[in-house]
Amino acid sequence: MKIKNNTYGLVVCGGKSTRMGRDKSLLVYHQKPQRYHVYERLEAFCEKTFIACNPSQVDGMDTNYQTLADLSPYSGIGPMAALLTAFTHHPQHDFLVMGCDYPFVTEKDIHNFLVGCECETRAAAFYNEKQDLYEPLLAWYSHRTAGALMKLFEQNEYSLQYFLQTTSAGKYYGKPETMNSVDTPESMVTAKARIQNKIKSACS
């Protein structure tokens, strides 16, 4: 797989996982906790990769994986905290961002997305046609977006969806299954069964 120049990977797992009832980044769909599985997916395409988390999660992380704990000024604002923290530490780098609740994303999906957003200068994301929405945690953010994101933060506007819409970010029309966000216990059970069935089919 081709590494995208100047791009760092960012696994976002600092959320409260309220609907799931437990930390989604620790769920196992592919032989290891999802936060490490996603990390290794992004690592194939990025110069460096980090797990973006809240400070309370740092001590529980495997030290083989690099982390970026949300900086205190951005505490409690959701996924934007991960990006603002990342740009604060690495202002000259772009970030390929992926949440932990997308267990169906493959390396091929990531490759096709990066090829599709090569002409973008600011940001691009997977786009869910059915819902007519971007997937902000399946996205690429240029370092050129840092200033605009900070401006929104200062205006108390923390929605990455809003940012992508108002900047007319590039759209990647991926497969609907790829964008299936698993965030409830019921959808987790279904997702695990579907993944296991795929594995069995591939081996038969």
Q: For residue 61, tell me if it sits in a domain.
A: yes
In whole angstroms, give the CA distance from residue 65 to residue 70: 16
Is 1 a domain residue?
A: no
Structural domain that includes position 180: 7-203
- pLDDT (tens place) for every residue of the chain, 204 residues total: 567 788 999 999 966 667 777 888 899 999 999 999 999 999 999 999 999 999 989 999 999 999 999 999 999 999 999 999 999 999 999 999 999 999 999 999 999 999 888 777 899 999 999 899 999 999 999 999 999 999 999 999 999 999 999 999 999 998 888 888 898 889 889 888 988 887 776 676
Give the chain's domain count.
Answer: 1
Q: Is residue 129 part of a domain?
A: yes
pLDDT score for 21 = 74
Give the per-residue pLDDT at 1. 57
C-alpha closest to that of 68 among 57, 78, 76? 57
170 lies in a domain?
A: yes
Q: Which pLDDT score is estimated for 116?
A: 83
Q: Which residues contact 9 (CB under 8 A, 6 or more apart)?
A: 39, 42, 43, 45, 46, 48, 49, 50, 95, 96, 97, 98
State phi, psi for 11 to the nearest 5 degrees: -90, 120
**pLDDT tens by residue, 75-84:** 999 999 999 9
Domain containing residue 67: CATH number: 3.90.550.10
pTM, two decimals, is 0.92
> So what's the pLDDT on residue 17?
67
* Residue 150 belongs to some domain of the structure: yes
In a domain, 15, yes or no: yes
Range list of β-strands (E), the chain: 7-12, 48-53, 67-69, 94-99, 123-128, 133-141, 170-172
Question: Is residue 2, in this structure, part of any structural domain at all?
Answer: no
In the block, residue with structure tokens 């030290």:
63
